[in-house]
A = this chain, B = another copy of it.
């Protein structure tokens, strides 16, 4: 076992600084290419992949706060990348979907996103990436089980 009193050996610390390094790098890229922030990119990714959704559905799909989803949607709507249509089944919400320009941007982003992921994780083999995903999933599941208590 390594010296477990060193900050640089704490897994949560390593996880945090690695995640930050990757996020910063990616945020720069999205902003430079498309003027999109990460929340906005996430919303587009879900809509482009799954098609129309309500904000509620987007909150679940992106694991973001509903306020963050709302803001991202409004920005995208203002830029004409996203449209709202009344939800006949529920007057409180709308169906959100990419507009034609939105889909165009989406199709332009995807290759860049994949290429960036490729570059970012080029240090890992295909097997290692699969394993890494699996480890992350298990850690997250564990971290989320012991939730906050009122």
Binding site for B on A (CB under 8 A): 1, 4-26, 28, 42, 45-46, 48-49, 61-63, 110, 113-114, 117, 119-124, 126, 128-129, 131-133, 135-144, 146, 148
Mostly, the A contact residues are: helix
**Of B9, B61, B121, the contact of A11 (CB 8 Å cutoff):** B121
Residues of B with C-beta under 8 A to A144: 21
Is B120 within 8 A of A138, CB to CB?
no
**Interface pairs A-B: 6 shortest CB-CB:** A19-B19, A123-B138, A21-B143, A18-B140, A7-B45, A18-B136
Given contacts A28-B148, A131-B131, contact A139 B18 (CB under 8 A): yes
CB distance from A97 to the nearest CB of B (A): 16
Given contacts A5-B48, A7-B46, A48-B5, contact A14 B146 (CB under 8 A): no
Is B113 within 8 A of A142, CB to CB?
no
Is B123 within 8 A of A49, CB to CB?
no
In the bound complex, how far is the Cα of B2 from the Cα of A133, in angstroms? Answer: 12
**Of B1, B15, B62, B129, the contact of A136 (CB 8 Å cutoff):** B15
**Of B7, B121, B124, B136, the contact of A61 (CB 8 Å cutoff):** B7
Is B18 within 8 A of A143, CB to CB?
yes
Task: Considering the complex, give the chain B residue whose CB is closest to the CB of A128.
Answer: B135
Task: Considering the complex, give the chain B residue whose CB is closest to the CB of A126.
Answer: B1
